[in-house]
Amino acid sequence: MRFNSVLIPCFLFASAVLANARRPQQFDLSETPTVVIDDDHRAGATWNLSPGTFNHVHAIFAVPAMTSVNGAQSFADVMVFIDGAGATNCPNAILGVGVNFHVEPDGNSHITAILVTNPNDLYNTETLDIPISVGDLVQLTIVSSNATTGHVFIDNLTTLRSVDKEAQLTEPLCGQSAGWVVSQANAKFPRTFYTLANFGTVMFTGVSAGIQGGIAHYPYGATLLRMRGHTIPSPWGDSTSTTSSTIAFGDSSLWITYI
Ligand SMILES: *[C@@H]1O[C@H](CO)[C@@H](O)[C@H](O)[C@H]1NC(C)=O
Ligand SMILES: *[C@@H]1O[C@H](CO)[C@@H](O)[C@H](O)[C@H]1NC(C)=O
């Protein structure tokens, strides 16, 4: 399915003006069959290819209003990343950037920009100093210079504020995997279950990953992750939720919907 015709003009304008410098030359790769797999805690799209395929990831999304589920403290991360669990050659390495949502039962939301790296076998989350609000148009970019040094960028296309943060990685990246996801797990505590916030629809546009200035891969043809959620007892007695999501995608857009 393709949604090019529904891209909102201001998205195109903002992304054309502000993003081109960091976007790779785009080649129209042949379309491959869609593979959809179930995942416990992520929904979105991921490419798992050869090492050295990715040093650049990009996407723009409008920050959605999220709601709490079952009266519980609810969480979701909207992230783009290089490597991580899908990279069989370096599953413990990750460089990610995105936005963490924490919605309280009274509806109060805390929205935080985050950098995710993986020092050991535990994800490490660092807060980035850029305020993010519902409705903001946020651009996420990762560029890794080499296996152990990368930059993450968050640009608020609504206010033109930006953060450029250098990340030093103790686990070397191999550039084998890249993706765009909504994640249930709070990256900081991968083994802890958090109630997934109702994230409505997260719509990524301008989505690409590959070698900066080189070949780009789009969500079309990537492995799609369908979140199947799970229910396990929470240490705090919060009710947990069983959730899933569905995905629509086009050449460079990816929609992830909470259902
Ligand atoms: C992004 O823009 C919105 C709208 O002006 C604003 O409310 C929000 O705080 C902004 N974030 C930054 C980084 O200024
Ligand atoms: C990786 O890139 C950074 C930034 O360009 C540079 O300072 C560093 O020396 C590089 N490291 C290696 C191992 O090449």
Tens of pLDDT, residues 176-188: 999 999 987 654 4
> Which one of 2.40.110.10, 2.60.120.700, 3.40.50.880, 3.30.2130.10 gives the CATH number of domain 34-258?
2.60.120.700
pLDDT above 90 for 22: no
Give the closest ligand to the alpha carbon of residue 144: 2
* DSSP code per residue over 110-178: EEEEEEEE-SSSS-EEEEES----TT-EEEEEEEEEETTEEEEEEEETTTTEEEEEEEE-SS---S-EE
**CA–CA gap between residue 83 and residue 257 (Å, rounded):** 24
Q: Give pTM, 2 decimals.
A: 0.81
Which pLDDT tens digit goes with each residue over 84-97? 988 999 998 999 99
Atom of ligand 1 at shortest distance to CA of 132? 11
Highest mean pLDDT of the ranges 34-38, 237-241, 253-257: 253-257
Question: Which ligand is nearest to the Cα of residue 99, counting in written order?
Answer: 1
Does residue 15 have a pLDDT over 60? no
Residue whose CA is closest, atom 3 of ligand 2? 149
Using the mean position of ligand 2's atoms as its centre, give its distance from the Cα of residue 146 in Å. 6
Looking at the predicted structure, is the pLDDT value of residue 52 above 90?
A: yes
pLDDT in tens, 191-205: 556 788 899 999 999
Alpha carbon nearest to ligand 2 atom 14, residue:
146
Q: Which of 53-57, 110-114, 169-173, 219-223 has the lowest mean pLDDT?
A: 219-223
